[in-house]
Structure formats: structure tokens, C-alpha cells
Structure 1
């Protein structure tokens, strides 16, 4: 059987797993990353919050950093569906809590922390385990398809949600978001299969050896370091995306029309990385895709504020953001292994979210001392380029499935 036919056969055989995880990812915490930024300007307008106060929201990532490790371990130990149910119920509750806020900034901080903690059980560390254990030949493509659903849903709904916020208010927007996420999440769990046990290492006992095995892995630390540096500016992709666009001398309506470019870039980046893994070496694909935001961020920091330049920069940042989750999951599965996939990806995600606490403080300082995000954008552009280069060190490691 030819390679293409093998891949088609594997995708068809895993169609239920792929469809359910695509629906699940579309209602996961990843979706909130693209949507929550829409609410920041109206919240600032109504409650009079300072931009520096909102920027520090990312410091709540310290809570998420712990939660993602626990979520990954839970998925390895108790299975995907049991673990994900926590977030499927918890995320809509958080959105409803946001809809009844009284304007106290500390309330916003607490609810955002809850979104990270409860939403960690709907992350790739959990849902990705279905893909990692059911696909081998098409694993990269399957990851890409699963992760593409969140930006696709964001692309399809951002204008509608903007309309709801503009006509009915941001409180109605949060309530609409809560209902949609709950229905999609429950549907996904209803049709989701159990993890496959056909791949070696899957469903092995989870004990103290898990962390020891992963933390002794040199390839894990290469992946983790590269991901940390490439994600140093992740705050610019979430809560600070629209404020960053408004700094480019764009009107609010122009910024809103550019935001779909970010979602389009994310969608394109995930599909492109998934197909690229089929034909090119993993280190090359990882370095190339994760190096793109250094160009986009450099354009954002430049004096060129023309609409087309900002549009291109936003799309480049989105392409890399889209490839990031696929690359993280794929490299862990390939160079660390599937045995502790949830724990490994959970650790990396926790590191990335943990550094977001630091970057949020840096963004706040950038606003406080310069009344602009530009110094922070320049620093993250340099970090992204460095992280992309580190991915090339993976040439020194063998495929984990070949070393067992």
C-alpha cells in the first residue's frame, strides 16, 4: 500500500476521533484566546480601567501554569473525557461570571485565573492525547486539523460577536459565548471515543516516574526552551491584540477588520505546519514556522503604520501562533514519546503560561514608562527569532519511537 493510501486509511479509520476533537477544540480555552480580546475595549470604556491594569491580567498565568500540569497528568491517568468534562462545564460558568461583573478589576483577575485553571482541562494536553494515541503516519496533519477548529470558529464568529457587543452590550456577548461553548463541548464529549491502546506506551501507569522521565529528557528541554522564547509575546496575541492594533494609528473599526487576519493566519499556520511535517524535517518546519512572528512583530514596532503593513504583520503573527500548538504537540510526541504525552505537553504549556505572568508585567511596565507597547514588541521579536533557531538543535535527537 502506498504512503498516501496508508495516510488516507488512517485518517478515515480515525474519523470519529478527529471530528470529536475538532469540535472540542473549537469550544476549548484556545477559542477564548481569540475572542476575549474583543471585550477589552468596551470593558475599559465602561469601567475606566487603565491599560496597564489590563495588561497585568496575564500575570494570572501563574495559576494556569500549575493547572496545565495537573490537567495533563489527569488525562494520562483518568482519560480524556473525564478530564475534559471539568472544563466543558467550568468555562461557560466563567463566561457567565464575567457577564455580571461590577467593574472591580480584581474580580476580572480572579475570573480570568479561573478560566485558565478550568480551561486547562480542554487544552491540547488533554484533547491532543486522542490524536497522539490514534494517529502515527498522519499525526501532524491530525493535530493541525484538530487545532484549526478554534481559529476557524473565531474567524466565523468574530463579526457576529462584535455585532452582539455593539448592539446588546458586552454582558450579552459573554452570555452568548457561554451558551455556544457549553453546547459544543457537550456534543464533542458525546461522540468522542476512548484513547487507543494500540500504540506502545499508551495507558501505562502514572506514577512518580513520569516527571523524572520527562525532566531527564534533553530533547524535552530543547523543545521547552524554544517554545518559551517563541511565546514570550503571547500576550500580544490575546488580551493585547486589539490594543496593539489601535496603537498603529488605526480606528477601532479598522482594527476589527484586521483581527480576522490574525484568525486566518492561525488557521493557515496550523494547516501549513500539518502538511509540512509530511514532507520536511521536523526541526526545519518548527524553526521556519516559529520564526515568522519575529518579522511580524518587527513590522508592528516599525514606523510603517499603513493598513496593508499592519494587516501583513498581524497575519504573520497569526501563522506562527497557529503552528505553535501543532509544533509543540508533534515534537513532544516524536522526540519525547506518547507514553506521557499529556504530562509532557502539560509541562510545556505550564512553562509557557508561567512566562506569560512575566511578560504581562513587562507589558504593564512598557505602558507605564513609555505609554506604548513598542519596547515590549521589540524585545519579543528578538526572543522569537532566538527560539526559532533553538528548534534546529532537534537534529541531534532521534525519533522516540525508534529508540525504544
Structure 2
């Protein structure tokens, strides 16, 4: 007599075989460049005091993140060609060096812009572009859960690192703040990546017989309507949330909440994002991922509509922010899962890099338009309606991905674990 092994049993065996790799991805995500947005504001006042630059001049450096987004598809292409390990290890070393160079900064302002751009470019190789490739290639039956666990490292560091870095800056100065960030990458992320992130699943996917199949160009990938669909869907999902986050406090105040009350509520988004990531990670391993993505994308649409009345109650704001946070947490993990599930690992990083590019372009556009919309209309209602429309379009775009294709998995340790599990006699 035979029976189907439970998903939990598959997950247990995968984690038993790959826990070191999963832990390395969690640590790396938590201490590498992805955490920089959470701590970057701590350096604004010290740099202003040290060099006399205005806050506007310092803020201009953030445009470098757009440059990183533009090169993400190219970096993804490189990862698919040479494998994730050499790109990741090189990126970790270079990211640490970039932090150390910023610590040694003596001015002038253009040099800060140059070093900040270098940090963004090399740091892009230590983000989801590489770490989701690591996890997606190593975990099969529990891929969604593994991606969610990896993302939880960023959520935890986003809560823990800012006060730690602030204390270091307050005690030892801003230079030591940059040194601390570089040391975390060099002394923590790099060693665990070197020791634990290894295996056949991280190498370029090759065809039968060992010969590489021709890979589609980036333009060729976009000609695949499903690749374009997932890039557009992810951008229409993520960008409105980021745009709204940039204006949440004044938006809530305009709806009748107190300034302090509104500021305190914003923390709900981060907590909800962590819950959304873990919840969707478990669901997509068992339920059709586009359906999960659709449900968690329609939630933020409802949240936007709840914020439309001229005056809202506190509980309405709480529910709306929770819905938005759940959607934000779900988006990145579900998209990474769907890229692996629909297109396999051969061009995974290239497609992920394309989605990053679409998201960054839409974030830049949305972040500007939401402020302009308020200036023109005198409130945020039009922006909320546009955001809700984007969420709805995104939700049904996910559904248009259709059923999962049959994709040959690359030979790796996890696949062997799952195969051995399936070969076990059942009672």
C-alpha cells in the first residue's frame, strides 16, 4: 500500500539536508545591502554636520538605487551564466569594501555620490537577486516556506539593526557606523556564505549531456508574455505600497488621526509584512501560487478603499494598514516562487532582475506622482483610487499566468532528498 507523503514531511527532509544553506541565506539577507534602507537615515544628520552638506544634497545620492535597478537584469544574466556562488561571494567582499570606503570619506560631495553608487551596484549582488536564487535552487517541496524564512531575516534585522547602529554612531561617530555595517558583511555574511552556500543547485543549469542550452536574451525573455506579465504584475503590486508608505503619516493625519497616533500606526505595516511573508510562504507550497498572490493583492486594494472617507476611525486605519502590510510581505516571496515554478532555474536570476527593474521604475514614478497628486487635488483620494486599481489589475494578472508548466528540475541535493522520500515504502 502506498500513500502520498505530507508536505510537512517533505519540508522536514529538505530542511534536514539544507538547513545550513537556508540559515546562511537568512543571515545574509539580514545583514547585507537589503538592510541599508532601514539604517541609511541615521547617517544623514552626522554627514550634514561633518561636511556641511544640505539634506537635499545628501538625499540625491538615493538616485543611485535606480542605477542598481537598471543593471539588475544584467547581473541576473551573469548569475545564470556563471552560477550564483562566485557572484555572491564577490559581491559580499565588494559590499564590505564599499562600506569601509564610505567610512574613510573625506569629501567632497561628488566623491560621496560616487561611493554611494558603487555601494548600490555591488550591493545589488547581495540582495534577493542572489539569495532567492540560492533558496529557490536548493528547496523544492518547501520552496515557499524557505523563501519566507529567508525574508524573515530582513524583517528581524530591520527591527534590531537601526537602534544598534544608532548607538554606535552616537558613541563612536558615523565612520564607525559604516565600519560596523561592513564588518557584519565581512565577518558574518561572507564566512557563512563561503562555508554553507554551495552545491550543484547553485551552478548554472545545463542541458542533458552537460552542454548549455542557448539562453534567451533579456529582450527575448520579455517576448515571453508570461515573463512580461509577472514583471508588470509585481510592479503594479509593490510600487503603490511603497508610494503610499512614503506618505502614510500625512495621509492618516488628513483622515482625522493625530500626528503621533498616525506615526505609531505605521509600525503595523512592518509587522504585517512579516506575517504576510510567512503565511504566503506556507500557502504557496500547497495552493496554486497565483491564487494566493491574487488574494493577498486584493487585500491592499480593499485597504485603499477603506482609507477613502474624509474621516476614518482608528480601527479602520488599523485594518487598512494590516491589509497593506500583508500584501507587501506576500509580494516578493510569491513572485520569487512563481518565477522558479513557471520558468525553472535556467534563467531565474535574469527574470528576477527584470522584475526588479520594472518594480524600481514603477516605484520611482509612483513616489513622485503621489506627492504631485496631493498638490494638485488637495487630498490623497485620487492616489488611493489609482493605487487600488493597480492592485486589482495586478491581482488578476497573476491569475492570467495559468496552470503550472512541467519543468525539468536541475539535479541537486534537495531533489535527491525528495526523490529518496518518494522512493520510501509507505504503510
TM-score normalized with structure 1 length:
0.80
Could you list the runs of 5+ residues in structure 2 that have no partner in the other structure?
411-427
Instruction: Give matches, 1:4-403, under 5 Å.
Output: 4-36=8-40, 49=55, 54=59, 60-95=64-99, 113-161=117-165, 173-197=177-201, 201=205, 205=212, 209-211=216-218, 214-233=221-240, 235-236=242-243, 241=246, 244-245=248-249, 248-249=252-253, 257-299=264-306, 303-304=310-311, 309-363=316-370, 365-366=372-373, 376-395=383-402, 397-401=403-407
Give the whole-Å Cα distance in 1 for the aligned partners of 2:167 and 2:304: 29
**1:144, 1:93 → 2: CA distance?**
29
Give the C-alpha shift of residue 130 in structure 1.
2.0
1:2 corresponds to? 5
Residues 59, 361 of structure 1: 8 Å contact kept: no
Q: Is the 8 A contact 1:214 1:336 kept in 2?
A: no
Give secondary structure in 1 for the equivalent of 2:285. Answer: helix
Judge conservation of contact 1:222–1:394 (CA < 8 Å) in 2: yes
Mark the runs of 5 or more structure 1 residues left unpaired by the alignment.
none
Query: The residue matched to 2:407 in structure 1 has which SS?
Result: helix
Aligned partner of residue 205 in structure 1, secondary structure: coil
Q: CA 1:208/1:279 → structure 2, altered by over 3 Å: closer, same or farther?
A: closer
Which of the two has higher C-alpha Rg? Answer: 2
Alpha-carbon deviation of 1:362?
2.4
1:234, CA displacement in angstroms?
5.1
For residues 23 and 268 of structure 1, the distance between their equivalents in structure 2, rounded to whole angstroms, comes to: 19
Contact 1:141–1:271 (8 Å) recurs in 2: yes
Rate the CA distance shift 1:376–1:176 in 2: closer, same or farther, 3 A: farther
Query: Match of 1:209, SS?
Result: coil
Q: Distance in 2 between matches of 1:349 and 1:209?
A: 18
* Cα contact 1:363–1:373 (8 A) shared by 2: yes
- Separation in 1, partners of 2:215, 2:363: 28
Identify if the C-alpha distance between structure 1 residues 307 and 246 changes in structure 2 by more than 3 Å, giving closer, same or farther: farther
Deviations 1:190-213 (A, max 9, x none): 323324359994587375535366
Residues in 1 aligned to 2:147 and 2:31: alpha-carbon distance in whole angstroms: 16
Stretch moving more, 270-279 or 302-311:
302-311
Kept in 1, the 8 Å contact 2:206–2:213? The answer is: no
What is the RMSD of the two structures over their aligned residues, measured on CA atoms?
A: 4.0
The separation in 1 between residues aligned to 2:317 and 2:116, in whole angstroms, is: 28
**Residues 73, 342 of structure 1: 8 Å contact kept:** yes
Secondary structure of the equivalent of 1:401?
coil
Number of equivalent positions? 397
Deviation at 1:217, TM superposition (A): 2.5
CA contact (8 A) 1:217 1:336 kept: no
Question: 1:94–1:114: 8 Å Cα contact kept in structure 2?
Answer: yes
C-alpha spacing 1:115/1:308, structure 2 compared with 1 (3 Å):
farther
- Residues 218 and 95 (structure 1 numbering): CA distance in 2 closer, same or farther, change over 3 Å? same
Note the C-alpha offset of 1:283.
1.4
